[in-house]
Amino acid sequence: MALQGVIDTLKNTNLQEIGVSFSLADLMRDLKIEDDNVYIKLFSPSEKYHDYLREKAETVLKSIGAKNVQVEFTSEPPKQQQPPQPPPTAQQNPFESRRRIPKVKKVIAVASGKGGVGKSTVAVNLSAALRKMGYNVGYLDADMYGPSGPTMLGAKDKQVTATPDNKLIPPEVHGIKIMSIGLLLPSEDTPVIWRGPVLFKALSQFLFDINWGEELDFLIIDLPPGTGDVQITLGQTAEIDGAVIVTTPQDVALIDVKKGIQMFNEVQIPVLGIVENMSYFVCPDSGKKYEIFGKSKTEEVAKQYNTELLGRIPIEPKVAEFADLGIPVVLAKEDSESSKAFMKVAEELIKKLSKQ
């Protein structure tokens, strides 16, 4: 059997049934061919997919003439198929190969140093606020391991389609185009276990192979929490106009804000500012403000790192209630404190971007 024929077949075998956008070739770790016998080692960190992958490999390889197909699995990620790049020289800029995301005027990444501070809530409400102002907006949920965008925007049942040249077409909800790994997984419980090079491929497809339709004024990218692979990959591959960092007022969250700012500086993405979420609570009976996490130091940290506080969002049960219903509070309850605060952050952001 010809090696190239086997590789081409593996490349053409997609794994859409398990909700992933790559091919069997992307998972290949080793391949040996002797006459009509094929031995293949596949990367699969979870045993759950072994039967599926074994059957798939056997079927496609037998269809091109293999008599015996031996499939083994490894949890070690596939080696990069590109030839190793020479180390950058002093003059070379590692970010110089960055590309602009097609058909998008401004790309804003929403990040947080720490999980659970309300990053997705801010990303979704910022998208809705900009849409409400009349802009054409896309929301890209790049939280590959814990996508919550589809729930918060009420898009869980929406279908992603594709163009004949395999560009993903995002569905639209509340006038916002949305794309999320959550929309591509067969069920909410499917673990997003694909890491390393596979994740890299999925992310670059998310950045560059989406057909947003009419040109977007803003693309909001909801990043995973922390300072990991996705952030670095994003910084190295795409031109991002700025990052917004979300935090809560607690000291522990602020320590992570500092790490986040440093990371964005390293990957040369300008930090547009900080949004402080869950800043205070307004008692509905008395209208009195309570800073339940103590006096905020966010402004101090912002100054110290040469950036600014874009706004403070109060804790309001409605924010979470409407998120669970799939409607951003900015659209569901325009007169609420949180909604007004989100609109103000969106205005600040536009001011900041217009100065760039």
Ligand X SMILES: Nc1ncnc2c1ncn2[C@@H]1O[C@H](COP(=O)(O)OP(=O)(O)OP(=O)(O)O)[C@@H](O)[C@H]1O
Contacts with ligand X, residue ranges (CB under 6 A): 112, 115-121, 143, 146, 148, 225, 277-278, 313, 315-316, 319-320, 323, 338
User: Shortest approach of ligand X to residue 315 CB, angstroms?
Assistant: 4
Is 116 labelled a binding residue?
yes
Closer to ligand X by CB, 116 or 284: give it.
116
Is 297 labelled a binding residue?
no
**3: its two tokens:** 């090696």
CB neighbour class for 346 (10 Å; exposed up to 12, middle 13-18, buried from 19) = buried
User: Shortest approach of ligand X to residue 150 CB, angstroms?
Assistant: 12
Helix (H, G, I), strand (E, B) or coil at 209: coil
Q: In angstroms, rounded to a whole number, what is the distance separating the alpha carbons of residues 281 and 313?
A: 9
User: Shortest approach of ligand X to residue 256 CB, angstroms?
Assistant: 11
Instruction: State the DSSP H helix or E strand holding residue 9, giving kind and residue range, or none if neither.
Output: helix 3-11
Closer to ligand X by CB, 53 or 275: give it.
275
Give Cα 323 distance to the centre of its chain. Answer: 18
Is 118 labelled a binding residue?
yes
User: Shortest approach of ligand X to residue 124 CB, angstroms?
Assistant: 8
User: Shortest approach of ligand X to residue 296 CB, angstroms?
Assistant: 14
**106: its two tokens:** 């401004």
Is 119 labelled a binding residue?
yes
User: Shortest approach of ligand X to residue 254 CB, angstroms?
Assistant: 15
Is 146 labelled a binding residue?
no
Residue nearest to ligand X as judged by C-beta position: 115
Q: Which residue, chain included where needed, has tokens 């198929």? A: 81
Is 158 labelled a binding residue?
no
Q: In angstroms, rounded to a whole number, what is the distance separating the alpha carbons of residues 312 and 275?
A: 6
Closer to ligand X by CB, 146 or 186: give it.
146
Closer to ligand X by CB, 61 or 323: give it.
323
Task: Confirm if 120 and 143 have CB atoms less than 8 A apart.
Answer: yes
Q: In angstroms, rounded to a whole number, what is the distance separating the alpha carbons of residues 301 and 247?
A: 11
Closer to ligand X by CB, 148 or 307: give it.
148
Is 115 labelled a binding residue?
yes
Reported as half-sphere exposure (CB side, CA atoms, 13 A), residue 46 has a value of 10
Closer to ligand X by CB, 78 or 249: give it.
249
Q: In angstroms, rounded to a whole number, what is the distance separating the alpha carbons of residues 288 and 320?
A: 21
Known binding positions: 113-120
Known binding positions for ATP: 113-120
